[in-house]
């Protein structure tokens, strides 16, 4: 993906003055799609540097309490072949990517620049040069009352460009200005779920992980859940996901009832892993934030601009695919740019670079928009699986059946949906079709089995009646 053309990157945040962990944000999980995209970026040392700062998570660890009051843990492997996802620190990953980008001889980084306007027909954009960084986040917009006003109006500059790639998040300025030119269909949904982050310290006795570091821990609660993801410092970043009504209920409870309610729904968290005082303090002080899902199409306008990542398809975090899909966007985009000879300078080509690039962007949108819409929907559905389905006998039976077929009859190409999404690079839309086909086969097999059992039972009854005459 590395190309020998001048690149300018603008960002509203400066990592030298604004810490990259500037806001509470759900920890990241990196899997095959993200890893493969970095592998193919031809940026020497990048993938190893990123993977060296990750923690393998081999499966989910489901926490609960038996009728007897005994706490239990149940491990559910992610993949029948032993493959795993990795926990990665958001701030560390951002910094590592910026470090490698800054080393590229054809790249120049401009921080504290805000895109305020763009004319994608004339290829001109306007930026405000800010002295104070705005600490904003896709799921956590800055409270305007907490930002000190700048002493004077920021300077605005005009920039002529050849091509803009907008990877500026769910509240994308690039997308907003592109909508004035492209006939863009846009859908935004806030789901009835808020999230709040908690911190689980290492064991005080020896500084080790308080629970298994090689799992994503889930306390399923039916309509809500509590999760914990390991960090390199041997702590855990935890997140409560619940309807707004549950947050209101918890907020209204005195400390003792708050802890009692939390312990009832998430047994083993408090006081075993987080003290009652810390649990209440973190719930009170940390923000209660919304979750947004965004779909739009097209992702581009002519040859001038394209949007990637959350700017094009912000999704809820329940499949761990937001970052992976964003990295895959880059790989797929450059596959199409290469396929259309966009970086071929040969004078023998019959079309101009802009014409070739517009063709590449048309193809990119045509493929990527339905794929991104699919993973948006799968992420929403996976929330139900995580908060309740993981304890369902039907879910466990299908998972066991599909994994058994995968292991003993690999030639059938039968794999779970999670395996196809997290450990392969099959298009998301094709994953959905393949899994639906497997589901139909399972239903047909169960139906035939029931018919067979019913037929045999009926035959046995008829035979017994006949003999008894």
Taking only the tens place, the pLDDT of each residue in 395-425 is 777 787 888 888 887 878 889 999 999 999 9
Residue written as token pair 């001889």: 105
Q: Band of the pLDDT at 346, cuts 50, 70, 90?
A: confident
Give the residue-averaged pLDDT of 375-388: 86
331 in Cβ contact with 39 (< 8 Å): no
Residue 134, C-beta contacts closer than 8 angstroms, at least 6 positions apart: 12, 13, 114, 142, 147
Q: What is the pLDDT of residue 383?
A: 84
Question: What is the dihedral angle through the alpha carbons of 27, 32, 34, 40, rounded to the nearest 10 degrees?
Answer: 150
Residue 368 structure tokens: 């990527």
DSSP string for residues in 239-256: EEEE-HHHHHHHHHS-HH
Check residue 151 and give its pLDDT: 62
CA distance 274 to 356: 57
SS3 at position 115: strand
What percent of the chain shows pLDDT beyond 90?
Answer: 67
State the average pLDDT over residues 137-161. Answer: 65
Q: Residue 163: pLDDT band by 50, 70, 90 thresholds?
A: very high
pLDDT tens across 275-322, in order?
A: 999 999 999 999 999 999 999 999 999 999 999 999 999 999 999 999
Confidence of residue 457 (pLDDT cuts 50, 70, 90): low
Q: pLDDT tens-digit profile of 202-255? A: 999 999 999 999 999 999 988 899 999 999 999 999 999 999 999 999 999 999
Q: Is 162 helix (H, G, I), strand (E, B) or coil?
A: coil
Q: What is the dihedral of CA 34, 105, 357, 295, to 10 degrees?
A: 40
Q: What is the pLDDT of residues 86-121, one digit of tens each?
A: 999 998 999 999 999 999 888 899 999 999 999 999
Q: Where are the alpha helices (DSSP H) in 352-427?
A: 353-387, 393-408, 417-422
**Backbone dihedral angles phi then psi of residue 284, each to the nearest 5 degrees:** -75, -40
pLDDT at 20: 40
**Residues paired with 115 in a beta bridge:** 127
pLDDT of residue 466: 54
Asked whether the predicted pLDDT for residue 142 surpasses 50, the reply is no
Mean pLDDT of 2-19: 56
């Amino acid at each position: 993906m590395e190309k020998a053309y001048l690149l300018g990157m603008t960002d509203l945040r400066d990592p030298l003055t604004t810490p990259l962990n500037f806001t509470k944000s759900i920890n990241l999980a990196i899997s095959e799609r993200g890893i493969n995209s970095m592998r193919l970026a031809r940026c020497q040392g990048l993938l190893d540097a990123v993977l060296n700062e990750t923690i393998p998570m081999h499966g989910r660890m489901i926490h609960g309490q038996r009728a007897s009051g005994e706490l239990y843990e149940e491990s559910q492997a992610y993949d029948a072949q032993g493959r795993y996802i990795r926990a990665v620190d958001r701030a560390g990953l951002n910094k590592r990517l910026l470090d490698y980008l800054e080393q590229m001889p054809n790249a120049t980084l401009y921080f504290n620049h805000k895109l305020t306007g763009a004319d994608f027909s004339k290829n001109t954009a306007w930026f405000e040069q800010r002295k104070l960084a705005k600490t904003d986040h896709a799921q956590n917009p800055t409270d305007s009352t907490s930002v000190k006003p700048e002493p004077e109006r920021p300077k605005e500059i005009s920039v002529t460009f050849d091509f803009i790639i907008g990877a500026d998040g769910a509240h994308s300025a690039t997308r907003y200005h592109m909508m004035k030119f492209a006939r863009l269909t846009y859908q935004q949904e806030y789901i009835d779920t808020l999230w709040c982050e908690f911190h689980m310290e290492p064991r005080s006795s020896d500084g080790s992980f308080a629970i298994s570091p090689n799992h994503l821990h889930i306390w399923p609660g039916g309509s809500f859940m509590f999760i914990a993801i390991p960090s390199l410092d041997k702590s855990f970043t935890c997140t409560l996901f619940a309807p707004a009504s549950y947050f209101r209920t918890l907020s209204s409870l005195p400390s003792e009832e708050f802890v009692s309610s939390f312990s009832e729904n998430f047994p083993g968290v408090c006081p075993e892993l987080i003290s009652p005082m810390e649990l209440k303090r973190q719930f009170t002080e940390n923000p209660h934030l919304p979750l947004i899902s965004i779909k739009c199409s097209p992702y581009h306008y002519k040859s001038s601009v394209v949007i990637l990542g959350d700017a094009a398809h912000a999704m809820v975090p329940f499949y761990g695919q937001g970052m992976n899909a964003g990295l895959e966007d880059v790989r797929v985009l450059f596959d199409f740019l290469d396929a259309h000879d966009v970086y071929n300078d040969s004078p023998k080509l019959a079309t101009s670079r802009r014409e070739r690039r517009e063709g590449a962007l048309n193809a990119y949108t045509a493929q990527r928009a339905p794929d991104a819409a699919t993973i948006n929907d799968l992420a929403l559905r996976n929330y139900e699986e995580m908060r309740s389905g993981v304890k369902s006998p039907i879910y466990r039976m299908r998972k066991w059946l599909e994994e058994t077929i995968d292991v003993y009859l690999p030639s059938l190409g039968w794999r779970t949906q999670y395996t196809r999404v997290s450990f392969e690079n099959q298009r998301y839309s094709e994953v959905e079709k393949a899994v639906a086909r497997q589901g139909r086969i399972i239903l047909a097999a169960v139906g035939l089995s029931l018919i067979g059992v019913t037929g045999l039972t009926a035959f046995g009854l008829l035979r017994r009646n006949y003999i008894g005459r």
